[in-house]
Structure 1
Amino acid sequence: MARTSTKTPREIEAMRRAGSLVAETFQVLEPHVQPGVSVQELDQIAEEFIRSRGAVPAYIGYGPRNNPFPATICASINEVICHGIPSPRKLREGDIIGVDIGVKMGGVYGDACHTYTVGNVTPEVRRLVETARESLQLGLEAVKPGARMGDIGAAIQKLAEGRGFGVVREYTGHGIGKNLHEEPTVYHHGLPGTGLLLQPGMVFTIEPMINLGRKETKLLPDGWTVVTADGKPSAQFEHTLVVTQTGYDILTLPLKTVGA
């Protein structure tokens, strides 16, 4: 297993620039997430914007040589948990779509996910999306020097399962830097006080996948698309963060404009 490493201040600032581009791409996509828009259209918009900024989509060609991922975004609609492949399928009123975006810029990676609601969704689906968003926030708030990786998973698990939702086990957060996936592995369930000791300079993602029903998953024959075993919706939010001297700093937010 690869050694968990901390990042230098220069690497962290480079990752902040890459992460900012990820955040800006979500802002560009948001007005297009409407009924009648195809997922392939969203993918094209994202790719054109990322390349216009001098960066490279991180997911295109990622994975095994005989089955690389074919698109810029992972687009996960309704019962799809993660790694959905963009298709001509058009968004419909009441859908939710998790959009996962990765970019490579300046030799480092940025990675984040946002779940959009399409028009009006049912109250239970809205509660699912909000719980996924809150799960990420509670996971972030557990991060500080001296905390343990298990503290992150425990906070997420307590909230989501306490509301009757399932927490996906098989797919996790991860370290990130000069590679898209590095050590450590970040579980979204666990016991407080267990796991890797968090130290300043560590950079990783937290990306809980929360299911409306059971936690079990199923991989489709395309080798990428992961769905809920019971066919119920799933929602996900993700940020890339760095552990600081006092807590955490999110690296996948838009850079603040000077004077703003």
Structure 2
Amino acid sequence: MSTIKTKEDIKKLREGGKRLARILREVASFVKPGVSTDFLNSKAHELIIAGGDTSAFLNYTPHGAERPFPASLCVSVNDEIVHGIPNEKPKVLKEGDIVSLDLGLIHEGLITDHAITVGVGTISKEAQKLLDVTKKALDIGIKAAKGSKKTGDIGYAIQKYVEPFDVGIIEELAGHGVGYSVHEDPFVPNYGIAGEGVLLKPGMVIAIEPMFTLG
């Protein structure tokens, strides 16, 4: 069931989102050849704690998972789509890699969720195209998220934009509601039919998460 947040909730979520964005920008600044995924996780956790907040992902057990997530930051490298574990068999980043950084933060009891993908040094034209298309798809999805519209309108807008670029849509993974818990209803896929899905109402808070592959 989708939850409706109060004005006070949304005020706290906005502040949490600003803090989260600042942390991710700082963590992203450390992405370079020779840096380990474990270091990025440690830096993210350190910055969350320094701000007086709590990691939303550390020890969180998603539905269907066999165990709690053991880190504060998800770090997914190249063909890892999401939820890469950075501190078990850490990877050392190499020139040309692309890296997804996915972080959740609890501020005054409310959860925000944010991800960015960055290149390591100089990346290929194909990889840069994937990053550019995905960022634009996010902007389009946000513009489509309006009261009285439905989740299918968001998915339709994203799908219509990306189809000419020959990228694959990850249908099993999608955006979601957020705020009182890490994953809430509604499910917000990156494809859909306009006018179908869950009705978007004032006070709903959602994470729109475009995820694509090359080819």
- Which residue of structure 1 lines up, in the alignment, with residue 56 of structure 2? 58
CA distance in 1, matches of 2:28, 2:186: 31
Contact 1:165 1:211 in 2 (8 A): yes
- Which residue of structure 2 lines up, in the alignment, with residue 10 of structure 1? 8
Matched residue type, 1:126: Q
Contact 1:160 1:210 in 2 (8 A): no
- Which residue of structure 2 lines up, in the alignment, with residue 137 of structure 1? 139
CA distance in 2, matches of 1:31, 1:196: 37
Matched residue type, 1:109: I
Quickly say closer, same or farther: Cα 1:55–1:123, change in 2 above 3 A: same
Q: Deviations over 1:57-84 (max 9, x none)?
A: 1111111685111111111110000000
- Superposition map of 1:81-230 within 5 A: 81-87=81-87, 88-213=90-215
- Which residue of structure 1 lines up, in the alignment, with residue 25 of structure 2? 27
TM-score scaled to structure 2, two decimals? 0.94
Moved more, 189-198 or 90-99: 189-198
CA distance in 2, matches of 1:189, 1:66: 29
Q: Deviations over 1:126-157 (max 9, x none)?
A: 00110111111111111111211111001111
Aligned residues: 211
TM-score scaled to structure 1, two decimals? 0.79
CA distance in 2, matches of 1:212, 1:150: 23
CA distance in 1, matches of 2:118, 2:39: 15
CA distance in 1, matches of 2:92, 2:124: 19
> Unaligned regions of 5+ residues in structure 2, if any?
none
- Which residue of structure 2 lines up, in the alignment, with residue 79 of structure 1? 79
Quickly say closer, same or farther: Cα 1:66–1:128, change in 2 above 3 A: closer
% of aligned pairs identical?
A: 40
Q: 1:193 Cα deviation (Å)?
A: 1.2
Structure number having the greater strand percentage? 1
Q: Deviations over 1:145-196 (max 9, x none)?
A: 1211111001111122221100111111111112111111111110111111
Q: 1:198 Cα deviation (Å)?
A: 1.4
Matched residue type, 2:178: I
CA distance in 1, matches of 2:206, 2:173: 14
> Unaligned regions of 5+ residues in structure 1, if any?
214-260
CA distance in 2, matches of 1:198, 1:169: 21
SS at match of 2:21: helix
CA distance in 2, matches of 1:99, 1:142: 24
User: What's the C-alpha RMSD, in Å, of the aligned pairs?
Assistant: 1.2
